[in-house]
Amino acid sequence: MKALGRHVLAEFFDCQPEILNDAQLIEIYMKRAAIDCGATIVSSTFHTFNPHGVSGVVVIAESHLAIHTWPEYGYAAVDVFTCGETVDPAVATRALQEYLKAGKVTTIQLNRGELNLHDRVLQHKPMMVGEAG
Protein backbone atom coordinates (compact mmCIF):
# COMPACT_ATOMS: atom_id res chain seq x y z
CA MET A 1 0.00 0.00 0.00
CA LYS A 2 1.33 3.41 -0.94
CA ALA A 3 1.52 6.32 1.44
CA LEU A 4 1.23 10.04 0.83
CA GLY A 5 4.33 10.64 2.93
CA ARG A 6 7.10 9.17 5.02
CA HIS A 7 7.84 10.52 8.49
CA VAL A 8 11.13 9.66 10.19
CA LEU A 9 11.34 10.24 13.95
CA ALA A 10 15.02 10.24 14.90
CA GLU A 11 16.87 10.42 18.18
CA PHE A 12 20.49 11.56 18.02
CA PHE A 13 22.69 10.64 20.99
CA ASP A 14 26.28 11.56 21.93
CA CYS A 15 26.32 14.68 19.75
CA GLN A 16 28.80 17.51 20.25
CA PRO A 17 27.20 19.97 22.72
CA GLU A 18 28.78 23.00 21.01
CA ILE A 19 27.01 22.12 17.77
CA LEU A 20 23.68 21.50 19.51
CA ASN A 21 23.74 24.93 21.14
CA ASP A 22 24.53 26.90 17.97
CA ALA A 23 21.25 27.93 16.29
CA GLN A 24 22.98 29.37 13.21
CA LEU A 25 24.99 26.20 12.64
CA ILE A 26 21.97 23.96 13.29
CA GLU A 27 19.99 25.95 10.70
CA ILE A 28 22.79 25.54 8.15
CA TYR A 29 22.92 21.79 8.80
CA MET A 30 19.14 21.35 8.64
CA LYS A 31 18.96 23.25 5.33
CA ARG A 32 21.89 21.25 3.98
CA ALA A 33 20.13 17.99 4.96
CA ALA A 34 16.99 19.17 3.15
CA ILE A 35 19.02 19.88 0.02
CA ASP A 36 20.88 16.57 0.37
CA CYS A 37 17.60 14.64 0.16
CA GLY A 38 16.37 16.64 -2.84
CA ALA A 39 13.81 18.80 -1.05
CA THR A 40 12.81 22.35 -1.96
CA ILE A 41 13.29 24.78 0.94
CA VAL A 42 10.43 27.24 1.49
CA SER A 43 11.43 28.90 4.78
CA SER A 44 13.03 28.29 8.16
CA THR A 45 12.99 29.59 11.71
CA PHE A 46 15.22 28.73 14.66
CA HIS A 47 15.26 29.78 18.31
CA THR A 48 17.95 29.56 21.01
CA PHE A 49 16.80 28.87 24.56
CA ASN A 50 18.38 30.22 27.75
CA PRO A 51 20.55 28.74 29.17
CA HIS A 52 20.90 26.28 26.27
CA GLY A 53 19.10 24.39 23.54
CA VAL A 54 17.78 25.10 20.06
CA SER A 55 14.45 24.47 18.37
CA GLY A 56 13.85 24.99 14.70
CA VAL A 57 12.03 24.00 11.57
CA VAL A 58 12.83 24.02 7.89
CA VAL A 59 9.63 24.13 5.87
CA ILE A 60 10.04 22.33 2.56
CA ALA A 61 7.64 22.13 -0.37
CA GLU A 62 7.36 18.43 0.45
CA SER A 63 6.63 18.99 4.22
CA HIS A 64 9.24 19.77 6.95
CA LEU A 65 12.36 19.03 9.00
CA ALA A 66 12.20 19.91 12.71
CA ILE A 67 14.71 19.70 15.57
CA HIS A 68 14.93 20.27 19.30
CA THR A 69 18.29 19.98 21.06
CA TRP A 70 19.46 19.33 24.60
CA PRO A 71 23.20 20.20 24.50
CA GLU A 72 23.61 19.36 28.18
CA TYR A 73 22.77 15.73 27.29
CA GLY A 74 24.33 15.62 23.83
CA TYR A 75 20.85 14.78 22.50
CA ALA A 76 18.65 15.99 19.65
CA ALA A 77 15.13 14.96 18.62
CA VAL A 78 14.50 15.29 14.89
CA ASP A 79 11.46 14.84 12.64
CA VAL A 80 11.84 14.58 8.87
CA PHE A 81 8.50 14.37 7.04
CA THR A 82 8.40 14.21 3.25
CA CYS A 83 5.47 13.76 0.90
CA GLY A 84 5.65 11.93 -2.41
CA GLU A 85 8.21 9.39 -3.55
CA THR A 86 11.06 11.55 -4.83
CA VAL A 87 12.41 12.97 -1.54
CA ASP A 88 13.82 10.38 0.88
CA PRO A 89 13.73 11.37 4.57
CA ALA A 90 16.32 8.69 5.41
CA VAL A 91 18.90 10.59 3.32
CA ALA A 92 18.35 13.74 5.41
CA THR A 93 18.54 11.71 8.62
CA ARG A 94 21.88 10.14 7.64
CA ALA A 95 23.23 13.57 6.68
CA LEU A 96 22.21 15.02 10.06
CA GLN A 97 23.93 12.13 11.85
CA GLU A 98 27.16 13.19 10.17
CA TYR A 99 26.64 16.94 10.66
CA LEU A 100 25.73 16.64 14.36
CA LYS A 101 28.53 14.12 14.91
CA ALA A 102 26.07 11.77 16.60
CA GLY A 103 27.55 8.66 18.17
CA LYS A 104 24.23 6.80 18.07
CA VAL A 105 20.97 7.30 16.18
CA THR A 106 17.66 5.50 16.52
CA THR A 107 14.86 5.98 14.00
CA ILE A 108 11.27 5.02 13.43
CA GLN A 109 9.67 5.53 10.02
CA LEU A 110 5.93 5.99 9.75
CA ASN A 111 3.97 5.91 6.54
CA ARG A 112 1.53 8.82 6.57
CA GLY A 113 -1.71 8.74 4.62
CA GLU A 114 -1.69 5.09 3.57
CA LEU A 115 -4.30 4.91 0.84
CA ASN A 116 -5.42 2.23 -1.55
CA LEU A 117 -3.59 3.73 -4.55
CA HIS A 118 -1.60 0.72 -5.79
CA ASP A 119 -1.65 1.77 -9.46
CA ARG A 120 -0.84 5.44 -9.05
CA VAL A 121 2.53 7.09 -8.96
CA LEU A 122 2.49 9.49 -6.03
CA GLN A 123 4.09 12.76 -6.96
CA HIS A 124 4.21 15.64 -4.58
CA LYS A 125 6.06 18.67 -5.78
CA PRO A 126 3.58 21.47 -5.14
CA MET A 127 3.96 24.68 -7.02
CA MET A 128 5.21 27.56 -4.90
CA VAL A 129 3.03 30.66 -4.61
CA GLY A 130 4.00 33.00 -7.42
CA GLU A 131 5.44 30.28 -9.68
CA ALA A 132 4.10 29.98 -13.19
CA GLY A 133 2.42 26.69 -14.00
Per-position pLDDT tens, the chain of length 133: 678 899 999 999 999 999 999 999 999 999 999 999 999 999 999 999 999 999 999 999 999 999 999 999 999 999 999 998 889 999 999 999 999 999 999 999 999 888 876 655 555 555 555 665 5
Tell me if the domain spanning 2-103 has CATH number 3.60.21.10. Answer: no
Amino acid of residue 15: C
Amino acid of residue 64: H
Determine which one of 7, 15, 37, 63 is catalytic.
Answer: 63
Q: What is the pTM of this model?
A: 0.85
Closest among 116, 30, 114 to 68, alpha carbons compared: 30
pLDDT of residue 125: 54
63 is catalytic: yes
Q: Are 22 and 123 in contact (CB under 8 A)?
A: no
Determine which one of 7, 37, 64, 83 is catalytic.
Answer: 83
pLDDT of residue 126: 58
